[in-house]
Amino acid sequence: MTDDASPRLTLLLALADDDLILGHRHSEWTGWVPHLEEDLAFSSIAQDEMAHARLLYGLALDSLGEDWDEDRLALGRAPDGYRNAVLCERPNRDWGFSLARQFLYDTADDERTSALMSSSWKELVEILALVRTEEAYHLDHARTWFRRLAGGPVAAREHLAGGLEASLAEALAIFEPLPAEEELVASGVLPVSSRELLGAWLARVGEELEAASLDYVLERHAPVGDLVPTASGEIEETPSFAVPGVAREDGRWVHRGDFAGSGGRWGRHSEDFTPLWEDLTGLYRAHPGATW
């Protein structure tokens, strides 16, 4: 289904799969977040992401055959049919990692959904208006925690910085150009290119990190021109996928170089995806046709 997907479906799957897979990872925190009240807040964020995926899958179903439903779409595809960015599939580590990932992802999601509000695709705009209403809380959440940890004792800063370092390279890959990107931009469905969105996001993240004196995380990302760790975290001789470098120019952070190869947007995942996929889809696939 994904091989001959229309440009619109390609866009929908990227947005929806990001939300589903990250929502799945966020939901793995429910029940044991280190602070009780935060367990409740973060669980709501997890549910929001999965609910947003559900809305987007609903729109996708409009253009799919009768033999597709929301569960088959969410839980019934082969691993390379999922088009999420690799960042979303990484297992949770400590709270610093998950919080850093939430911060980087939700700022990225804010940039792209903000741009998409001007999309020529009206049904998508309607859905994203709802999504953005709930995402406002996610941004507030990320900001509040970021400030508390970045302005806190050394251990808190270190855990946050560690999380940012571990997730930064793959966060850039949220903006890997989509298959059919040219067509999406030409038709006005995607009003702003992935490259431009990356630029806007990076400048914004750079500002926030500088304000918290955590910009050294950006400096540790590969400098101008060098290839950076691939989706698997290894720096390969001939990498299958590489993200741009970053540099500080004229007082703002910019990306340098280009994406190379193909990553999550083309269904190419890390070694962490298979166990996730087995958890996510195993029971659904074991009982074809059953209702639950």
Partner 1 sequence: MTYDDRVSEFRARIGGGDKIEAGEWMPDEYRQAALKFIEMHANSEVMGALPEREWIPRAPSLRRKLSLTAKVQDEVGHGQILYRVAEDLGKSREQMFDDLVNGRTKFHNVFHYPTRSWGDVAVIGWLIDGAALVTQKALLDASYAPYVRAMRRICAEESLHLRHGEDITLELVSGTREQRELFQEAVNRWWQPIMHFFGPPSRRDRDVLLQWGIKTRTNEDLRQEFFSTYVPKLWDLGVSVPDPQLAYDRAAGAWTWSEPDWDEFWEVVRGNGPMTATRLGLRKGMWDSHAWIREAFAGVPPRAAA
Partner 2 sequence: MEIWDVLGKRTAGDEWSVVGAVKAPDVHMALLLARETHFRHKEGVAYAVRRRGDAEEALTVGEGDAATLGGVTDRSYRRQEAYAGVGAKLRRVAERIAERGLRIDRPRPPDLHGGGGDP
Taking each continuous run of H as one helix and of E as one strand, the counts in the chain are 11, 4
User: Which residue's entry shows tokens 């400048």?
Assistant: 203
Q: How far is the CB of 213 from partner 1 (least distance, A)?
A: 10
By a kind-dependent CB cut-off of 5 to 8 A, residue 83 interacts, out of partner 1, partner 2, none, with none
Distances (CA, A) of 115 to 132, 224, 226: 12, 27, 30
Indicate the residue among 105 and 145 with the shorter CB distance to partner 2: 145
By a kind-dependent CB cut-off of 5 to 8 A, residue 262 interacts, out of partner 1, partner 2, none, with none
By a kind-dependent CB cut-off of 5 to 8 A, residue 156 interacts, out of partner 2, partner 1, none, with partner 1
Q: Determine how β-strand 241-242 pairs with β-strand 245-249.
A: unpaired
Distance CA 220, CA 217 (A): 5
Q: How far is the CB of 47 from partner 1 (least distance, A)?
A: 5
Side chain identity at residue 275, one-letter code: P
Indicate the residue among 44 and 187 with the shorter CB distance to partner 2: 44
Q: How far is the CB of 138 from partner 2 (least distance, A)?
A: 11
List, as one string, the DSSP characters of 258-285.
--EE--GGGT---TTHHHHHHHHHHHHH
Indicate the residue among 54 and 195 with the shorter CB distance to partner 2: 54
By a kind-dependent CB cut-off of 5 to 8 A, residue 291 interacts, out of partner 2, partner 1, none, with partner 1
Indicate the residue among 164 and 212 with the shorter CB distance to partner 1: 212
Task: Centre a 10 Å sphere on the Cβ of residue 252 and count the other Cβ atoms it contains.
Answer: 14
Q: How far is the CB of 52 from partner 1 (least distance, A)?
A: 11
Q: Can you state the angle between helices 36-61 and 122-150, rounded to 10 degrees?
A: 160
Q: Are 31 and 212 in contact (CB under 8 A)?
A: no
In what helix (H) or strand (E) does residue 245 lie, and over which residues does it extend? strand 245-249
Indicate the residue among 214 and 222 with the shorter CB distance to partner 1: 214
**Which residue from 104, 96, 123, 81 is spatially nearest to 22, judged by alpha carbons?**
104
Strand partners, 256: 245
Contacts of 66 (CB under 8 A, 6+ apart): none
* Interface with partner 1 (CB under 8 A): 24, 27-28, 30-32, 34-37, 39-40, 43-44, 46-47, 50-51, 53-54, 57, 70-71, 74-75, 94-95, 147-153, 155-156, 159, 208, 211-212, 276, 279-280, 282-284, 287, 289-292
Q: How far is the CB of 148 from partner 1 (least distance, A)?
A: 6
By a kind-dependent CB cut-off of 5 to 8 A, residue 131 interacts, out of partner 1, partner 2, none, with partner 2
Token representation of residue 213: 């004196």
Indicate the residue among 38 and 236 with the shorter CB distance to partner 1: 38
Indicate the residue among 37 and 66 with the shorter CB distance to partner 2: 37
By a kind-dependent CB cut-off of 5 to 8 A, residue 130 interacts, out of partner 1, partner 2, none, with partner 2
By a kind-dependent CB cut-off of 5 to 8 A, residue 292 interacts, out of partner 1, partner 2, none, with partner 1
Contacts of 39 (CB under 8 A, 6+ apart): 29, 30, 31, 32, 33
* Interface with partner 2 (CB under 8 A): 35-38, 40-41, 43-44, 48, 51-52, 54-55, 130-131, 133-134, 136-137, 140-141, 144-145, 147-148
Q: What is the dihedral of CA 90, 92, 93, 98, to 10 degrees?
A: 100
